[in-house]
Structure 1
Amino acid sequence: MEIREIKTDKKRYLDLLLLADEQEEMIDRYLERGTMYVLEDDGVKAECVVTDEGSGILELKNIAVEPDCQGRGYGKALVDFLIQTYRGQYGTIQVGTGDSPTTIPFYESCGFHRHHLVKNFFTDHYDHPIYECGVQLVDMVYLQREM
Structure 2
Amino acid sequence: MIIKTIENSEKVNFMELLLLADEDWKMIEKYLYRGELFALYDDDLKSVCVVTQESDCICELKNIATYEKWHGEGYGSKLLDHIFSYYKDKHATMLVGTGNVPWIMRFYKKSGFKVSHRIRNFFTDNYDHPMFEDGVQLVDMVYLKKDL
* Offset, 1:62: 0.4
Name the counterpart of 2:114: 113
* Offset, 1:23: 0.4
TM-score under structure 1 length normalisation: 0.98
Determine the C-alpha separation between the residues in 1 that align with 2:87 and 2:139.
31
For residues 46-102 of structure 1, the C-alpha deviation after alignment (integer angstroms, 9 at most, x for no partner) is: 000000000411100000000000101101101100111111110001100001112
Determine the C-alpha separation between the residues in 1 that align with 2:61 and 2:81.
12
* Offset, 1:9: 2.0
Name the counterpart of 1:41: 42
Determine the C-alpha separation between the residues in 2 that align with 1:104 and 1:63.
13
Name the counterpart of 1:31: 32
How large is the Cα RMSD of the aligned pairs? Answer: 0.7
Q: Residue 49 of structure 2: SS of its match in structure 1?
A: strand
Determine the C-alpha separation between the residues in 1 that align with 2:21 and 2:33.
17
Question: Unaligned 5+ residue runs, structure 1?
Answer: none
Question: Unaligned 5+ residue runs, structure 2?
Answer: none
Q: Percent identity?
A: 48
Task: Tell me which amino acid in the other structure corresponds to 2:117.
Answer: H
Determine the C-alpha separation between the residues in 2 that align with 1:9 and 1:38.
11
- Matching of residues 64-79 of structure 1 within 5 Å: 64-79=65-80
Moved over 3 A (4+): none
Aligned length: 147
TM-score under structure 2 length normalisation: 0.98
